[in-house]
Amino acid sequence: MRVLTYGCAFNRADSDAMAAALRGMRGNVAVYNTCCVKDATEQRILSAIRREKMPVVVTGCLAEAEPEKILKMKPDASIVGISQQYRIADAVESAAKGKPVRWLGKGKRRLSAHADGLVARIRICEGCLGACSFCETRVARGGLRSCGVREIRLTAERCVRDGAKELQLCAQDDGAYGRDTGASLPELASALSSIPGDFRVRIGMLNPEHAPKVIGAFSPSKVYKFLHIPVQSGSDAVLRAMRRPYTVADFRRTIASYRKRYPDIAIMTDVIVGFPGETGADFQKTTDLLWEMMFDVVNVSKYSARPRTQAAKMKQLPNSIIKKRSEIASALCRAMSEERNREWVGWEGDVLFLEKVKDGSIIGRNDSYKAVAVKGAKIGEKRRVKVVGATRTCLLATSRASAARRMTC
């Protein structure tokens, strides 16, 4: 039995729940939890499904939005819609017997959480309030549906009792949480931070239009000072074409307000290059904005037309231009990440260690969610360290007998 996951933290949270439902079951069945954000990801998924030797159960956004693509590649695949994932065990059992299922449409959907070792991914809401012209995820996930604060807190309490040290709040847009119920992200963060125990909370991606109203969510000491806020473009003309409801000036003000309130906050953003109609001047505005803002991490995506979206109907740029712009932006962002990390050399403070890497180093996170590599630390412990070096992807630190020169990340 295998569960393979593609895409965002929310998808990984769905996979956690399905893995828990399948625990103890036997059978040679592969479950693919899919994503439809990028064409390149879609092609990897379809290629893997085509090559798969075991019976296949396919779920997630691609299965929900475009099941016909999966069935064309694998006619005997079982298709399980997102709202039908509570039936995953039945689907796997049926597939193992050679009886594929086709379960799409509405069904009961419970957003629970299951700790994956020391990390628990908690789904706080599903869907979004946006109408971006390039996004197919909304086709699959629909409008906003938030869980109650009390329900999420009870789930978090259980995860902490089970040993979770990091609670990741997952959604398509954390900033939209509670807009449909009267709750708010700051209210939720406060409720979770009041749970007894030694753990941290990581707030997931939130869109710029919601960021000013939820700045207080990062105040509790248990909440990482880490903001993931996608700008997508540095050009107002492109943002309008994308149907993003903010301007570059709005975005600048938001970043300034977060950095003023939380001086050590680490900020991640996303940009899409090669969007239909993006001119050379538009692209230059994006790279200028990136250098001006000096983000800690930037996810650069090459635009790819997604079916059933407005942007797919627009005049597309040549792939050669998109590829070149992606290379330029990616190189810039790699240099920027390394420069930002070097600013942390000499820092001393506490780090919570959660992950082991191939060379034996242990990766932890400081208060700003910066990855810190140390030799000799133990998974799950908190240790005071000193940063003595930096790479593009992490900080290198020493703690007692640690040797930074032997570390990689």
Each residue's pLDDT tens digit, 250-309: 999 999 999 999 999 999 999 999 999 999 999 999 999 999 999 999 999 999 999 989
Q: How confident is the model at residue 186 (pLDDT cuts 50, 70, 90)?
A: very high
Structure confidence by residue, pLDDT tens digits, 202-215: 999 999 999 999 99
- Residue at 112: amino acid letter: S
Q: How far apart are CA 314 and CA 133, in angstroms?
A: 10
Q: Which domains does the chain have, with CATH numbers?
A: 2-103 (3.40.50), 113-342 (3.80.30.20), 348-406 (2.40.50.140)
Structure confidence by residue, pLDDT tens digits, 64-105: 999 999 999 999 999 999 989 999 999 999 999 999 999 987
Cβ contacts of 168 within 8 Å, gap of 6 or more: 9, 13, 119, 120, 121, 122, 202, 204
Region of 346 (left: φ > 0; alpha: ψ -120 to 50; beta: rest) is left
Q: How far apart are CA 95 and CA 137, in angstroms?
A: 26
Q: How far apart are CA 94 and CA 100, in angstroms?
A: 6
- Is the distance from CB of 56 to CB of 32 less than 8 angstroms? yes
Structure confidence by residue, pLDDT tens digits, 313-366: 999 999 999 999 999 999 999 999 999 999 999 999 999 999 888 777 899 999
DSSP annotation of 121 reads E
Q: How far apart are CA 369 and CA 117, in angstroms?
A: 18
pTM over 0.75: yes
Residues 13-38 have a mean pLDDT of: 92
Return the pLDDT at 138.
Answer: 83
Lowest mean pLDDT among 107-111, 228-232, 295-299: 107-111
Q: How confident is the model at residue 107 (pLDDT cuts 50, 70, 90)?
A: low
Residues 218-245 have a mean pLDDT of: 98
Q: Is the pLDDT of residue 402 over 70?
A: no
Return the pLDDT at 329.
Answer: 98
Strands in 220-276 per DSSP E: 226-228, 266-273
Q: How far apart are CA 197 and CA 8, in angstroms?
A: 27
Q: Is the pLDDT of residue 111 over 90?
A: no
